[in-house]
Structure 1
Amino acid sequence: MHRDSFLLMHSFIIFFVLSISSLATAQQRHFNVSLGSSLTPTKTSSWLSKSGLYAFGFYQRGNGYSVGVFLAGIPEKTVVWTANRDDPPVSANSTLLFSAAEGRLVLQTPQGQDTYIADISPTVSYASMLDTGNFVLYDSDGGLTWQSFAHPTDTLLPTQRLVVEMPLISSVSKTDQSTGTFSLTLSGDGNLVQYPKDDRTVQTIYWTSGINELDDKLILTLAEDGNLYLVNATGFNVWNVTDGQVWSVLWINSDDRCDPKGLCGLNSFCVSNDLEPGCNCLPGFAPVIQGNWTSGCERNFTSESCKKKGKKYSIRAEDNTIWVEDSYSVLLQTSKEDCSKACLDDCNCEAALYKDGSCKKQRLPLKYGRRSSQSGSIAFIKIICYRKKLDQSLPEDQVILEEWVYECFEDGELGQLVGDEEVEPKQLERIIKVALWCILDEPSLRPSMKKVLLMLEGTVDIPTPPNPTSFISTI
């Protein structure tokens, strides 16, 4: 038997899943679940569907357990639905009770903090884990009172339907099913759209189906034939979203992993490294939370009025980066040099976006950045200069020293580092580039001693070192 699951992560993807029911034969199977039944994480932990493909119950999440629906008939227990997904995991001493007194599913913890899994009436008589992946509750007449299909999280399963303005929202990661950043929604005009879940505007939509049916009764459904359809109220297929055959990956809306807006937070931009997305901070910025790029980046210096006496500013450029525009002033028919100077001379300007003679002055933060080699656009960022001559008798702050050296390197003014001492410029540049690689905070990104020697000898080229305070990738 074949099943197709629709997973919304950073992109809009349909996967092909092979059911291996024999893997579940050793497990206890449940069909209808009666009132008074219970589950615990370490004993009877789930109720299986008839084929053994799907299970409802506890699954391990970090150091604890959550309740949801997952594929049990394959080696990897892929989670397709999570109850109360933003609640923290519970301990192994917790119990999921199908309460006979209330007719409700209640998650009970040792701390006495009971949580209802489904908001239902007390007329419920029994439950069932269906072979479609839908966990359902029935009344005494066999009428459906609640179903997991009506409360999707990040996955659309075969025969499941997504109605207008009912979003699928990505998970934080494959191992953390709590609410993530991205949303897939069928809008009232018939368009299927993707955007950051907390910021839905025309500018932030990064993918759209382009279908405008002006029908608020459209339904998105993943059919058993493996295709994704938009269906109208009469059951007519308005559009075949996938329009293809079933393979291991059936369809994906974009091959560019940096397309999703919001993958990198404020003042950072997405860069594709070997098809995997990474995030870089703007020059003069550092991550707000190390390792959590959705939190964005913040200045690594204190922002003060550019009119303040003694403060000197310079401009750094990030080539081929695209941002959401929110300009307060636009200069036309100007050069990139004039654009950089115009921002430097304007106290209100914190960044300027330049392309094809157009210079757009902006205030921070910059949003939804990504690098694109085809864009031809430049982001000019205003930062405070750290220049000063070094007094060798005084202790120097390491961070300020690193930034000063890097700024001198980036601006082509390495002579400031050696004062009046005569040195061969190319050799000095080579030494500084190697040094900047060797002082990176992340040990795995520093070159080996063998590579350092080859670099100093000139046997191998030295890649341009990144700013020591911003995100980098390996050499």
Structure 2
Amino acid sequence: MEFCHYKWEKRESGEDDGNCSTEKLQHNPRLFSLSQWQLILALAIRIFAFGFFPFGDGYSISIWFEGTPQKTVVWTANRNDPPLSRNANIVFTSDGRLVLQELGNQEKSLANATQPAAVASLLDSGNFVLYDSNSTIIWQSFDYPTDTLLPNQLLRVRRQLVSSSSENNHSTGIFRIKMQNDGNIVLYQYAVGIPDTPDYAYWSAVTNFVGNNATLTLDKNGRLYMLNSTGVVVKNITNEVIPSDGKMYRATIDNDGIFRLYSHDLGESGNWSIEWYVPGDVCGPRGICGINGFCDIQNQQAFCTCPPGFVFINQEQMNLGCSRNFTVETCSSKNEHTKYAIQEFQNAILEDTAYALLFSVTKEECNQACLEDCNCEAAFYQNRECRKQKFPLTFWRRTVQGDGYSNATFVKFGIGIDGMVPKDIESKKVLRMDILIIGVACLAFASILLAVFAILIFRYRIWTYKRLSREAATDQGILMEDVSLRAFTYSELEVATNGFAEQLGRGSFGTVFKGTLSNGQRTIAVKRLEKVVVEGEGEEEFRNEMRSIGRTHHKNLVRLLGYCHDSSNRLLVYEYMSNGTLANYLFKSQVKPNWEVRIKIALNIARGILYLHEECETQIIHCDINPNNILMDANGCAKISDFGLAKLLMPDHSKTLTGIRGTRGYVAPEWLKNLPITVKADVYSFGIVFFVNICCRRNIDINAPQDEVILVDWVYDCFKSNQVHRLVPEEVDAESLERMVKIGLWCIEDDPAARPSMKKVIQMLEGTVEIPIPPCARSAVEN
């Protein structure tokens, strides 16, 4: 490879004397200013160039492929800065610094080297480097990649590539590929509040076995592979790519979130060819179309569109999403002139943020349920489940053909406000009206036949109806009101549990037994309540509580399937949670959940409590949040149990501490002070459970050293002494751990008013808000 070296020395005349000249330097004579230091710039002829690259109405300082027609940029300095003017200069100062100067502006560093530089050079690899006087590299652009990995460039642990905003704008975009501490290469959305957890990843190389000394590298033949700490190849990422010499390669995370490997034969008229890319689903990157935006696949390309009643926030940047172009009526306004329609998107999925779930319904019933619910703005239907949602919709996309999904998404939009209805909707209405008329006629004829048939068999079945007791009739009325609940007799549950033979556990509300329904096809958990309210007025209170609990549906609450109020027996039938309690999951499992899983569990619990406090029809204060009331399903999802049962207890039940309801060690201080109990009591209990969960140890451990016996006290001590790493059994990110500890300390503040709401707790866990130092620890930290 030939090079052209440019060498300047300070002369009395103030003129530059280069030993060769090219069109590149003549493009902008002020590319580099004179200094007392020697500057050597090496340009690999027809391959790479370094300098001012056209950007917007000015320039950026970049490295690009000079030998290709596209002039593809592979690195940009200070990429988020506005375009530079023609008066900008790159100056190699007398004290060995490489800086940018613009008229009227202060200097800005282009390379934060640890010591003065003597030489700057652009290598034939595309790496721009600074050397000291001993010819040692003290800074290089390869260590600070933007969106591209070049051959022989290493992507080390905790480094990442971040996509550009667009093909012509190289400022920071919304996607990234990161080399994690464990050696795993993962694709994430690049946004504030998006944590590095599996829930937010949309592709992974599954290389977490390599360790924290791994590197990702691209060789000159187009192979992308992982190296361990000894430089041995441990995994070839691009197995299907056939290596080829004589081409130039680059691996880029593009502005659409796809990580692609490109090749170029360096021909004068040649284009970049795609050799390999991930993920295979072009609509797979999370957030590619922004909030409320719908990602569709057309000709193997991602295409963003807006649902009816919505327009793009910015037509030039469709990834910003869509906003309404109609006025939304609230539930309280009941404007008779405002109507709504539903648009169906087949084989489309979106992120589950449902506020209500309907089970065992048809697609048509899901459509109608959303249309009649003024809170419902969209609904996702799959496997006979209908999930009602509110805007904004996130990660909404068409599924890849053959990926196993059979579903639909319904979106509600306003009509009648301006008298306009989309033509496709009008045509569908006409068609549906014809179908409706035919359907009504058929239904009327069928009803007549059914009535005649019912009269004929009525006399033969009359004795069956007489066997129904008044109580069964009442139960039937409740069943009609709460479709998801079933009234059991005591004998049915006795058979289902084989005489209450297998005990799953015992808590403050009673004993839980394992059972089966439907000939052993469904496993259930039967809780036999103890010391519940007595007959008389208590009978109606029990029924009312069942109605209240039966109307709560959330993915982080244990689902109530039915109940029994046979004579003095009070039993509840729940879905069976195969992984038992959170306490057993943390302390008795052979494989302990890792840090990411424990954070996910904390979010599950917080979302369940938020639903009880703010989102269900009747506000519920749990009063007994503890690890034994958090159950784990087969997928490791945490769900809250025993909610809404506090009112069923006798007045003298669970008085472990002067009238306190709850579990010792988890109750809030206001119970002891005889203060009014609010939802903040549950926040305190959550804080204790939160520490138990993230520290993976019991609240009180008598086998621990004396200063670690009480978990909360130990957490305070470690936080004040800046030793929070002692709290967890494994090595985790220090910043993430400190954030979690501050969240827990806020939750267990003595003053209920100082504790955050569960909504604020979730925001802190998701990283969308800053977390100040809690008052309880502020003075110690400041001192």
TM-score normalised to structure 2 length: 0.45
Which of the numbers 126, 141, 145 marks the counterpart of 2:138?
Answer: 145
**1:411 matches 2:429:** yes
Displacement of 1:255 in angstroms is 4.2
Which of the numbers 334, 346, 359 marks the counterpart of 1:319?
Answer: 346
Q: Give secondary structure in 1 for the equivalent of 2:291.
A: coil
> For residues 431-442 of structure 1, what are the structure 2 equivalents within 5 Å?
none
Distance 1:40 1:193, change over 3 A: farther
- Matched residue, 1:176: 169
The 2-side partners of 1:266 and 1:313 are apart by: 21
Please identify which structure carries the higher helix content.
Answer: 2
Percent identical among aligned pairs is: 39
1:79-115 superposed Cα distances (whole Å, 9 cap, x missing partner):
1100001111112221111112x32221112233432
1:286-317 superposed Cα distances (whole Å, 9 cap, x missing partner):
11112311110011112231231224433322
- Matched residue, 1:282: 307
CA RMSD of aligned residues (A): 2.8
Q: Give secondary structure in 2 for the equivalent of 1:411.
A: helix
Distance 1:35 1:265, change over 3 A: farther
- Matched residue, 1:226: 222
Does structure 1 retain, via aligned residues, the 8 Å contact 2:87–2:103?
Answer: yes
> For residues 48-67 of structure 1, what are the structure 2 equivalents within 5 Å?
48-67=42-61
Which of the numbers 242, 246, 270 marks the counterpart of 1:245?
Answer: 242
**1:329 matches 2:356:** yes
Equivalent AA in structure 1 for residue 386 of structure 2: C
Which of the numbers 76, 80, 84 marks the counterpart of 2:70?
Answer: 76
Distance 1:287 1:148, change over 3 A: same
Displacement of 1:30 in angstroms is 2.4
Does structure 2 retain, via aligned residues, the 8 Å contact 1:40–1:94?
Answer: no
Equivalent AA in structure 2 for residue 212 of structure 1: N
**1:359 matches 2:386:** yes
Greater RCO structure (CA 8 Å; 6+ sep): 1
46-55 vs 217-226, which deviates more?
A: 46-55
The 1-side partners of 2:161 and 2:9 are apart by: 31
Q: Give secondary structure in 1 for the equivalent of 2:410.
A: strand
Q: Give secondary structure in 1 for the equivalent of 2:201.
A: coil
Q: Give secondary structure in 2 for the equivalent of 1:408.
A: helix
Which of the numbers 81, 105, 117 marks the counterpart of 1:124?
Answer: 117
> For residues 204-215 of structure 1, what are the structure 2 equivalents within 5 Å?
204-213=200-209, 215=211
Q: Give secondary structure in 2 for the equivalent of 1:168.
A: strand
Distance 1:70 1:186, change over 3 A: same
**1:108 matches 2:101:** yes
Does structure 2 retain, via aligned residues, the 8 Å contact 1:33–1:126?
Answer: no
1:194-235 superposed Cα distances (whole Å, 9 cap, x missing partner):
121123443332211123316111111112332111111111
Distance 1:75 1:343, change over 3 A: closer
Equivalent AA in structure 1 for residue 382 of structure 2: K
Q: Give secondary structure in 2 for the equivalent of 1:124.
A: coil
Does structure 1 retain, via aligned residues, the 8 Å contact 2:415–2:421?
Answer: no
- Matched residue, 2:524: none
Radius of gyration: which is bigger?
A: 2
- Matched residue, 1:12: none
Q: For this pair of structures, how many residues does the alignment match?
A: 377
Equivalent AA in structure 2 for residue 233 of structure 1: S
Displacement of 1:262 in angstroms is 1.9
- Matched residue, 2:413: 383
The 1-side partners of 2:26 and 2:109 are apart by: 16
Equivalent AA in structure 2 for residue 377 of structure 1: N
Distance 1:79 1:281, change over 3 A: same
The 2-side partners of 1:306 and 1:43 are apart by: 67
Does structure 1 retain, via aligned residues, the 8 Å contact 2:48–2:63?
Answer: yes
The 1-side partners of 2:233 and 2:190 are apart by: 27
Does structure 2 retain, via aligned residues, the 8 Å contact 1:343–1:349?
Answer: yes
Does structure 1 retain, via aligned residues, the 8 Å contact 2:97–2:116?
Answer: no
Displacement of 1:51 in angstroms is 4.6
**1:368 matches 2:395:** yes
Displacement of 1:155 in angstroms is 0.5
**1:270 matches 2:295:** yes
Structure 1 portions without partners, runs of 5+: 2-20, 388-399, 416-475
Distance 1:70 1:44, change over 3 A: farther
Which of the numbers 177, 186, 189 marks the counterpart of 1:193?
Answer: 186
**1:158 matches 2:188:** no
> For residues 389-428 of structure 1, what are the structure 2 equivalents within 5 Å?
400-403=418-421, 407-412=425-430
221-230 vs 51-60, which deviates more?
A: 51-60
Equivalent AA in structure 1 for residue 186 of structure 2: V
The 2-side partners of 1:78 and 1:212 are apart by: 32
TM-score normalised to structure 1 length: 0.73
